[in-house]
Structure 1
Amino acid sequence: MKRLFSVLAIVYFVSIFSYLFALNADDLNKLFYEARRDHDKDKILRVIKEIESFDGYTKDSRLLTILADCYLEYGNWGVPDKEKEKTLEKARANAEAAIKIDQKNGRAYYIAGAAIGRLAQYKGIVQSLFMLGDFDKNIDTAIKILDENDEEGRLYKTFAYIASGMRYRDVPWPLYNYKKSEELLNNALKLTPNYTNIYLELGYLYLKTGNKDKAREMFQKVVNSPAHPWLVKTHEEAVASANEELKKLK
């Protein structure tokens, strides 16, 4: 009887812990958003540690998605160059694990595609071409299933359109289609017109097509526009890049 009571007590406390942790998923997601907004390494590492310390995270699509997003961002701006590839591999692996659990997880599809796109930059042209199919599949699926009427869904659908627009504009995939790139970036702009990085990417596109006046207009919009409230540090970096391009265009 005593042993049975002990077992029941353990089950009860495990259930309570799991319940409390589930409530904290929103807090972890918010903390990730703050870390991305400010490029705060301490906060993003805290989210990673919190999730990976929970035994059940590998069976939870949402926690895997938040974790994957942490590694994607951390791999972009938080680690030395020699650690970027390994960190992006973790982003891809966790996003793909999230998709296996929930095939309607649009955010995870975007993260998987974005991680593949960034990883392709570390590969040769031939090897990167083998990754193109996986990139397109993930990004196209994200665009298809993300709900633009939901605030988070709209933001990630915007990111997916930008990623696809850049895919048709840049290496490592030598399959240029500048008209398609412009269409996709403008789709992103319609969804989130206050995300100045879209103007930056359009500016780079117009430089490639030789339309310097249009490029100058886009870079000036970056400089003159306020930051998206959840992407402040990204905006600051975009302004610095736009100013550099404007100097070259004088």
Structure 2
Amino acid sequence: MRKYLAVVVSLLLLTGFIFGATVSELNKLFYEARRDRDREKMLRVVAEIEKTPNYGKDAKLLTILADCYLELATWGVPDNEKEKTLEKARSNAEAAIKIDPKNGRAHYIAGAAIGRLAQYKGIVQSLFMLGDYDRYIDTAIKLLNENDEEERLYKTFALIAKGMRDRDVPWPLNNYKRSEEMFNQALKLTPNYPNIYLEMGYLYLKTGDKQKAKEMFEKVINSQPHPWLIKTHEEAVKDARSELAKLK
């Protein structure tokens, strides 16, 4: 009997459903899954949350779940499932915001999901989505606390998202100067996240400054990855090498 109880306790500890560690354990698993782009681990987090009674009333669980779907839509599901997965990211993030309107991470996830969903819509419809995108991303930047390690990273993500929005929307809705400002703010917050240089490289390609673009892509290749975004960095290095090859 004691052996049986020990096994049960061990399993509960592994899934994080004991001694109030549920949210922190699941959040840690999410970060590990994102770092390594481990699909099975990410799906495990999704399954654990979705089988939790009344998880739809817990803003923190909804936020982690939304983040899982946002990541899975990027690298963890087939192309024909990406749009549906992004809709899940958005709906769970918005549900979290309804419970906790000051949840900066959820605001970022909702905005990021909308931005990616716009790629599946027509030009006119995608432009109509800009209002919601701006509202969520701007609110995330305002709410997220840069003195908190986790929130600082999400504030960095939100600043990058704002920079990409100003860089990539059609004229006259773009703003290259503000885009550069957003990327530079992101660098000040998280200088050890080389993907920011990648986005700045794309910006300078758009403005016609190929020398600056080249410098940014070289920085991506020569920089060390952020410890929680290793696979993301590997993809960025691949993209930077590809862009440098085109500039030769």
Ranges in structure 1 where 5+ consecutive residues have no aligned partner = 1-17
Identity %: 75
1:128–1:172: 8 Å Cα contact kept in structure 2?
A: no
Name the residue aligned to 1:229. Answer: 227
Shift of 1:20: 2.8
Paired with 1:225 and 1:72, the residues of 2 have a C-alpha distance of 26
Give the structure-1-normalised TM-score. 0.91
Of stretches 190-199 and 165-174 in structure 1, the one that deviates more from structure 2 is: 165-174
Shift of 1:196: 0.8
1:109–1:142: 8 Å Cα contact kept in structure 2?
A: yes
Name the residue aligned to 1:245. Answer: 243
Name the residue aligned to 2:145. Answer: 147
Paired with 2:135 and 2:67, the residues of 1 have a C-alpha distance of 18
1:161 and 2:147 aligned: no
Distance 1:144 1:27, change over 3 A: same
Name the residue aligned to 1:170. Answer: 168
1:132 and 2:130 aligned: yes
1:47-90 Cα offsets, whole Å, 9 max, x none, are: 00000001110000000000000000001111111100000000
Structure 1 runs of 4+ aligned residues shifted over 6 Å read: none
Paired with 1:209 and 1:96, the residues of 2 have a C-alpha distance of 35
1:210 and 2:208 aligned: yes
Query: Aligned to 1:149, what secondary structure does the other structure show?
Result: coil
Name the residue aligned to 1:14. Answer: none
Paired with 1:43 and 1:185, the residues of 2 have a C-alpha distance of 31
| 2:101 aligned residue (90, 99, 103) | 103
Letter in 2 for 1:69: D
Name the residue aligned to 2:9. Answer: none
Paired with 1:93 and 1:21, the residues of 2 have a C-alpha distance of 29
Name the residue aligned to 1:86. Answer: 84
Give the structure-2-normalised TM-score. 0.91
1:193-237 Cα offsets, whole Å, 9 max, x none, are: 110110000000000000011000000000000000000000000
Letter in 2 for 1:144: K
1:114-160 Cα offsets, whole Å, 9 max, x none, are: 00000001001100111111000000000001000000110000000
Letter in 1 for 2:149: E
Paired with 2:206 and 2:171, the residues of 1 have a C-alpha distance of 15
1:167–1:173: 8 Å Cα contact kept in structure 2?
A: no
Distance 1:173 1:87, change over 3 A: farther
Ranges in structure 2 where 5+ consecutive residues have no aligned partner = 1-15
1:74 and 2:67 aligned: no
| 2:44 aligned residue (33, 43, 46) | 46
1:128–1:173: 8 Å Cα contact kept in structure 2?
A: no
Q: How does 1:182-221 map to 2 (within 5 A)?
A: 182-221=180-219
Distance 1:174 1:78, change over 3 A: farther
1:33 and 2:31 aligned: yes
Shift of 1:103: 0.7
1:157-207 Cα offsets, whole Å, 9 max, x none, are: 000000010001114786211111101111111100110110000000000
Letter in 1 for 2:232: T
Over aligned residue pairs, what C-alpha RMSD do you find? 1.4
Paired with 1:188 and 1:246, the residues of 2 have a C-alpha distance of 23
